[in-house]
Amino acid sequence: MNGLLDSIVQALRGLPPELTVFLISALPIFEIRGGVIAGLALLHLPVGETLLYGLLGNIASITPVLLFLEPISKWVHGNRFARRFLEWLFARAERKAAAVKRWGLLGLTIFVGVPLPGTGAWTGSIIAVVLGMRRLPALVACYLGIAIAGLVVALLTLGGMAGVDHLRGAP
């Protein structure tokens, strides 16, 4: 995935680095996790700026998903392709929803906040819709999870960068 992240950063190289972090954080495959890695390790932005633009990018992308996915799914129900895609999407989310079902909003926050493959705000938002969670509390849970994931990835990235610098003998 690092090669893909490098490629995207290179493709966006004419943009301000803050906008690059925002855009990468908005993408479902990367979310804030990829934005933080790009901001800190590739673009050398300060931690605070990286977290801010990563948080804003991830929030901007999942808020419409959580607010409008259900009404859109009802609206496109007559379109066979759209209906099949949404059925696949909801079935995938349903398979990952066990912890969220059990723990509710806390489970949703943890699901979004743990930076592991298959978790994150996009999937968490879809799970919230599938489980029929109230939108505002689900948004808050997702936002908190995004912040947690950003902090965890920032700490891991900074630790990894310090380790590499140490091995290279850099001061």
Distance CA 132, CA 117 (A): 24
- The residue whose two tokens read 């680095």 is 17
Confidence of residue 86 (pLDDT cuts 50, 70, 90): confident
Does the structure show a pLDDT above 90 at 120?
A: yes
Nearest to 54 by CA among 78, 30, 80, 83: 30
Does the structure show a pLDDT above 80 at 74?
A: no
Residue type, 75: W
Confidence of residue 171 (pLDDT cuts 50, 70, 90): low
- DSSP secondary structure letters along 104-118: THHHHHHHHHS-STT
Confidence of residue 170 (pLDDT cuts 50, 70, 90): low
The mean-pLDDT minimum among 27-36, 60-69, 90-99, 114-123 falls in 90-99
Question: pTM above 0.85?
Answer: yes
pLDDT digits (tens, 9 = 90+) for 154-168: 999 999 999 888 888
**Mean per-residue pLDDT, 121-128:** 92
